Amino acid sequence: MAHGPAKGLSRWLFTTNHKDIGSMYLWFSFAMFFMGGIFALVIRAELFQPGLQIVEPDFFNQMTTMHGLVMVFGAVMPAFVGLANWMVPMMIGAPDMALPRMNNWSFWILPFAFALLASTLFMEGGAPNFGWTFYAPLSTTYASDTVTFFIFGVHIMGASSIMGAINIIATILNMRAPGMTLMKMPLFVWTWLITAYLLIAVMPVLAGVVTMMLMDIHFGTSFFDAAGGGDPVLFQHVFWFFGHPEVYIMILPAFGIVSAIIPTFARKPLFGYESMVYATASIAFLSFIVWAHHMFTVGIPLTGELVFMYATMLIAVPTGVKVFNWVTTMWKGAMTFETPMLFSIAFVILFTIGGFSGLMLAIAPADFQYHDTYFVVAHFHYVLVPGAIFSITAGVYYWLPKWSGKMYNEVMGKTHFWLAFIGLNVTFFPMHFSGLAGMPRRIPDYNPLWADWNMISSMGAFLFGAAQLLFLYNVVRTILSGKKATDQVWEGAEGLEWTVASPAPYHTFSTPPQVK
């Protein structure tokens, strides 16, 4: 058997190098981001004006389902796992991940899971058409045979996530450099440690609920069928017990990224490091006791509504602590506004807007009015697009010089930011208004009353989509022909958390930062 480094395709197929696997995760999630984005643009094109013009209602429903599934499981989660693969070993001074072969496996099963999911678009009966939450008994009774393929795909994605999480926990707990105690780890490592525990706790719940669906479809059980003694509301309880922690799985690593970037460009240590760690842990704990705020309208007892309402409001407290700490870190700092910092500041502002609308939705009697309207769509997109997508983008710009040894084009990066920022707000802010005016979610046609807001949203969506093409071009151009990055990556910035040549960052500076 030949020895030495593998070449060509075998290098990527059999690699156990955390950097290679991190890169594959990131490119895969980028591809899924574009695929999910195309599904979203089909939705927005159809809703550009009232009346059915481009797609049939059933295909429209398939697009809403596929958009949600691909963005959540294919774009956001693998991107964060990719960033963790790249950065966690370097940040804790480890040579690689603890379980490198499992690391390879957890990536390579993902493309097959999503190929399975995407293939349902070409099967008889079409892709799943019941929304990304796949509520039973709709998904088990009236759906096509492709639901079985969807269930298998979800199982594979879940297995990938669990393996990735076990790997991250094993790496962080066992492979830190001498002297790096838990409370000296960068916040990105802390947020991923906590996220990994969330993944291990909730992914089996998702596997359980889709297995119960499978039994209902093929083996004559009635878990969710009232006619057989089952309960459709049981599905919602089990799904949202997975689904709400899942939302925090998609946002906690973002907190870690932003907590690395803001101190760098404010030239100050992060304010309140320990409170950030405790706030992250508090959010993770509380995420398990708020799931039924998605279910205020199903007829749960008043006591239950009150418990879930207060628990949901309580989760705003540790989140507020984080926002306060980021703003205080920037306060009186010697700030510069390179591309990663622009995305991070936009993250703080827009994520806070999403948090405020979330507080509105937490109020049970008010939620009766907002539920299943476009107001909810506006809320969770204000959390997930500036929250997850902007933070991932900020992290890529911030660490790209470290990964590639080359510097991206700053003007192009800032252009990407402003196009994405404007596109995002033009897309999703009007949805608050159309939702408050009563427009339901997941409808391919609508009352002309909501036409103006929909037209504006659709125009914003295409602008946001176009901005991502610029991002792709900038990243590829940097890797192929970017200028060599110097030790001093960000011009005029001293006292950085890291430079290209430096070891992993700590959360404090060894010397007070100097500014030219």
Active site residue 222: no
Alpha-carbon distances, residue 343 vs 62, 270, 421, 457, 460 (angstroms)? 32, 17, 9, 21, 18
Active site residue 161: yes
Angle at 340 between CA 319 and CA 75, to 5 degrees: 70
Catalytic residue among 18, 176, 293, 432: 293
Section 394-399 average pLDDT: 97
CB-CB neighbours of 117 under 10 Å: 25
pLDDT grade for 3, boundaries at 50, 70 and 90: low
In-domain check, residue 203: yes
Active site residue 124: no
Catalytic residue among 44, 294, 379, 507: 294
Active site residue 418: no
Catalytic residue among 18, 44, 67, 268: 67
- Which uninterrupted H or E stretch holds 407? strand 406-407
Q: Is the pTM of this model over 0.85?
A: yes
Q: Rounded mean pLDDT of the chain?
A: 92
Active site residue 294: yes
The answer to whether the beta carbons of residues 313 and 362 sit under 8 Å apart is: yes
Active site residue 319: yes
Catalytic residue among 244, 268, 416, 432: 244
In-domain check, residue 209: yes
Active site residue 416: no
Active site residue 160: yes
In-domain check, residue 284: no
Report the candidate in 24, 50, 243, 37 with the shortest Cα–Cα distance to residue 135: 243
Task: Judge whether residue 115 has pLDDT over 50.
Answer: yes
Task: Judge whether residue 396 has pLDDT over 80.
Answer: yes
Tens-digit pLDDT profile for residues 126-170: 999 999 999 999 999 877 789 999 999 999 999 999 999 999 999
Section 12-18 average pLDDT: 95
In-domain check, residue 70: yes
Catalytic residue among 139, 140, 144, 259: 259
In-domain check, residue 278: no
Active site residue 457: no
Full domain range(s) for residue 29: 12-233
Catalytic residue among 44, 176, 267, 322: 322
- Number of domains present in the structure of the chain: 1
Active site residue 441: yes
Percent of the chain with pLDDT over 70: 94
CATH of the domain at 224: 1.20.210.10
The alpha carbon of 42 is separated from its chain's Cα centroid by a whole number of angstroms, namely 21
Rounded CA-CA distance 26/31 in Å is 9
In-domain check, residue 368: no
Catalytic residue among 120, 160, 264, 329: 160
Active site residue 192: no
In-domain check, residue 65: yes
In-domain check, residue 206: yes
Tens-digit pLDDT profile for residues 428-468: 999 999 999 999 999 999 999 999 999 999 999 999 999 99
Active site residue 96: yes
